[in-house]
Structure 1
Amino acid sequence: MVDSRRAAMAPPALQAGVRAALVLLGGALGLTVSALALTSLHLARRVVTPAARVPDTRILSLDTSAQTITLARTPDTELPGRYGLFTSGTESYVKLGSVLAEDATSVKRKLLTEIGPQARISADAAFSGWYYDTPAELHLPYTSELIGSAVGPCPAWLFPAGTGEVWVIQIHGRGTTRAECLRAVPLFHGLGITSLLVSYRNDGEAPRSRAGTYSLGATEWRDVDAAIGFARRRGAKRIVLMGWSMGGAIALQLELNSAHRDVLAGVILESPVVDWRVVLGYQARQQHIPTAVTGLAIGALRTEWSAHMAGAGAAIPFDRLDVIARAPELRHPILILHSDDDGFVPSDASHDLVVARPDLVQMQVFDTARHTKLWNYDQERWSGSIRSWLEERALLPE
């Protein structure tokens, strides 16, 4: 214990110095805590704010005579298969074919969209697995529909097939639109399954909620539940849900909460979010964000008052969105298609769901297909996996 008499006899200069040091230390700690809190709120806001497409690819050269394009090499641009590229200038979107040549820094690919010699395209572009950009490109009959939901009419594309008794409802991911799902339509159409590609609140096509932010599936599933009701009214007897990335999280919430669970026949998940905490932790590590910041951001989104500070319309129920913990509640067969090198949504939780419910969940594991690009990377395997799974569960129309 410090002798109070000695402390009292300490030189005034020393006492003043100690007081100043304590004030500085307290101020520094306060600033650190404040900075940490602000950083966490900023991260939380990014999580729930609908993402705009940002350039992630550099166009190095364009040869219109040979119809080739050379891109800076990345884990995405080096993938074999067919892809899309969002661009700006005289072309807004082009289709990419196979890799023709590559070196340590660049990849030359075949252009599948013809580009004229007068084309002027910005060097900054965004690589995509969409491939098809509009429904007309499929050359299949379709209609544009509006699905009535609590937030208003949500646009959808309907591709009728077969007898109309078996439907697949496709749910796109975060920061994308229903066009992401177009590449799956020909497979289902060939199997006699009607496809409904839906939109949901705050995705840029459906109506905006009051806050205008994502709830990571906690409310979006209600808009898709309205689409299930629409399908039933149009004659659907059995419905398969297919979710891409965050659409997988939405599909799983429907599997757990839908008022129409009696008509659901199965769930197909492409590169799905199964537990948001796993995904957010992984993405934070990829961006070298301290674990403490990530934990505080998740904590902020879980609490009503701080969620509003982060721009969210309501607290995010991460426990309800954790399907590993809720695995005993699952009722229908699930097929997961996921690549272990996903790079955006790690496959760990998908593997965990197989372990938690091996009686219901099957998984096709890819190793070099990246995020939501499994169809692009190996269309034959991707299509065959879905077809076989549907056949084994007698989900094909008779």
Structure 2
Amino acid sequence: MAISVPSDASAAGTPVMSVPWVRWTAFGAGVGAAASTAVLAAASGLGIYFARQVVTPARTRDANLEILAVTDSEHGRQVILPANLDTTVEGTYSLYFDGGDGHARIGAIRSYVPREGTVQRDVEEVYSGDLSKARRGWWSGSIYPSPAAVGLPEEEVSIPVEGGEAPAWLVRTPGAQTWAVMVHGRGARRTECLRALRTAREAGLTSLVISYRNDGEAPYAPDGRYGLGLTEWQDVEAAIQYALDHGASDVVLFGWSMGGAISLQAADRSPLRRHIRAMVLDGPVINWLNVLSHHARVNRIPAQAGRLGQWLISNAAGRALTGLAAPLDLKSMDWVTRAEEIRIPTLILHSKDDDFVPYGPSAELAEKNPDVITFEPFTRAGHTKEYNVDPERWERVVLGWLTDALSRTRHPSEHRTAE
């Protein structure tokens, strides 16, 4: 079984037992109820494994979706897939195959036969690979492979970060003083952010779509572990500095899933935070303790093992077991508790059907700080797939909110005060 903390690449429609994170099969089998010592040992082992998987980047993707057939019809090319909670939701998505070298954009549902357990959907475009020969792949909300596929001109740039340079896409809007710095989620890459490019351009923003440590494009951190936002924010700070050095006077942070947690940390910790005028967060991690407890429950991990995993991540004594260079203060990333500390105008878009990052903390955060936080709930969408299900609404809400928020805030150049 795998535990999937928010990852755009995750397939929410697959059974919980195959979600990409903690492999359950190594633990718990054959533990007798009477063998308390064995139970404790198994729980301890599972807690250690849980903690390691939370902070360890996956180097390969699990091709957990069977591709049953590719056919031609009066509507064009179509693909037949197993019906699950992902593949039976209307919208536009991606199907990756051949280890990620193949990529197809998948559209409307043409046939769904529950008793047969299959769904037939349009193949809108194949960007790479031979879909007709593919047998397995994975489902994703990252629709486009590059800004050019969105129809926008792109530049490949490099941002200096710890350990080297992080590649990024720069999509210019002539005359823009405010830049959008876009931050993808855990287990995803910068392609996740491309859905927002047109909206950012309509809002008059130049977009900088970044990579960051441990995502497979930017340099790996020295310990090779996720910081869940507590280390990655430094790469966002580097991106903000790059924007300022290349003509921006301020920025708007866009963050998906863990990218939302990273953005909140940058807004809290970076000396450049005075240049952040607004944040747009999609399915963000508002409280890591809540997310980890949720995944322990849905994966039927014993409560004591789940608590041990959190403790190992949060304490110096767990470093030898987690591989972290330093413990992560999970409590400091509970923004519901720290709601009043958020002073930057923030829009949160979050689906009530998100089964990876529960939407409850997002809603509660907005309730506690309504003057600063705007919450826009969606339905039917899986994790960070609000745009995929209803792109027109997503674009309308974000554009309207951004236009209003930027009109009510000033450029940092108009009020530079030491913090």
Give TM-score scaled by structure 2 length: 0.84
Residue 38 of structure 2 corresponds to residue 31 of structure 1: yes
Mean Cα deviation higher: 27-36 or 342-351: 27-36
Gaps of 5+ in 2: 1-31, 412-419
CA distance in 2, matches of 1:227, 1:293: 38
CA distance in 2, matches of 1:272, 1:147: 24
57, 60, 76: which one aligns with 2:68: 60
Residue in 1 aligned with 2:165? 153
Residue in 2 aligned with 1:97? 107
Residue in 1 aligned with 2:240? 228
Secondary structure of the equivalent of 1:312?
coil
Residue in 2 aligned with 1:358? 370
CA distance in 2, matches of 1:323, 1:133: 33
Number of equivalenced pairs: 373
For residues 302 and 114 of structure 1, do their structure 2 counterparts lie closer, same or farther at Cα, with a shift above 3 Å needed?
closer
Work out whether residues 90 and 119 of structure 1, in 8 Å CA contact, stay in contact via their aligned partners in 2.
no
Q: Structure 2 matches for 1:7-86, cutoff 5 A?
A: 28-51=35-58, 52-64=60-72, 66-86=76-96
Residue in 2 aligned with 1:257? 269
Question: Deviation at 1:313?
Answer: 2.4
Question: Deviation at 1:292?
Answer: 1.6
Gaps of 5+ in 1: 1-24
CA distance in 2, matches of 1:115, 1:269: 28
CA distance in 2, matches of 1:145, 1:211: 26
- Equivalent AA in structure 1 for residue 67 of structure 2: I
Residue 400 of structure 2 corresponds to residue 391 of structure 1: no
CA distance in 2, matches of 1:143, 1:305: 45
Residue in 1 aligned with 2:207? 195
Deviations 1:55-96 (CA, angstroms, capped at 9, x unpaired): 232222211464111111111111111110011289711110
Larger radius of gyration: 1
For residues 119 and 89 of structure 1, do their structure 2 counterparts lie closer, same or farther at Cα, with a shift above 3 Å needed?
farther
Work out whether residues 57 and 214 of structure 2, in 8 Å CA contact, stay in contact via their aligned partners in 1.
yes
Residue 379 of structure 2 corresponds to residue 367 of structure 1: yes
CA distance in 2, matches of 1:142, 1:167: 14
- Equivalent AA in structure 1 for residue 336 of structure 2: I
- Equivalent AA in structure 1 for residue 401 of structure 2: W
Residue in 1 aligned with 2:148? 136
Give TM-score scaled by structure 1 length: 0.88
CA distance in 2, matches of 1:263, 1:257: 13
Secondary structure of the equivalent of 1:350?
helix
Work out whether residues 82 and 131 of structure 1, in 8 Å CA contact, stay in contact via their aligned partners in 2.
yes
CA distance in 2, matches of 1:218, 1:115: 35
Question: Deviation at 1:29?
Answer: 4.0
For residues 54 and 119 of structure 1, do their structure 2 counterparts lie closer, same or farther at Cα, with a shift above 3 Å needed?
closer
Work out whether residues 217 and 246 of structure 1, in 8 Å CA contact, stay in contact via their aligned partners in 2.
yes
Deviations 1:154-185 (CA, angstroms, capped at 9, x unpaired): 11111110313011100000011111111211
Secondary structure of the equivalent of 2:125?
coil
Structure with larger RCO (C-alpha < 8 A, sep 6+) = 2
CA distance in 2, matches of 1:119, 1:54: 17
CA distance in 2, matches of 1:201, 1:74: 33
- Equivalent AA in structure 1 for residue 249 of structure 2: K
CA distance in 2, matches of 1:109, 1:257: 45
For residues 187 and 303 of structure 1, do their structure 2 counterparts lie closer, same or farther at Cα, with a shift above 3 Å needed?
same
Question: Deviation at 1:115?
Answer: 9.6
Secondary structure of the equivalent of 1:282?
helix
Question: Deviation at 1:320?
Answer: 1.5
CA distance in 1, matches of 2:180, 2:131: 39
Mean Cα deviation higher: 185-194 or 327-336: 185-194
Work out whether residues 151 and 201 of structure 1, in 8 Å CA contact, stay in contact via their aligned partners in 2.
no
Secondary structure of the equivalent of 2:277?
strand
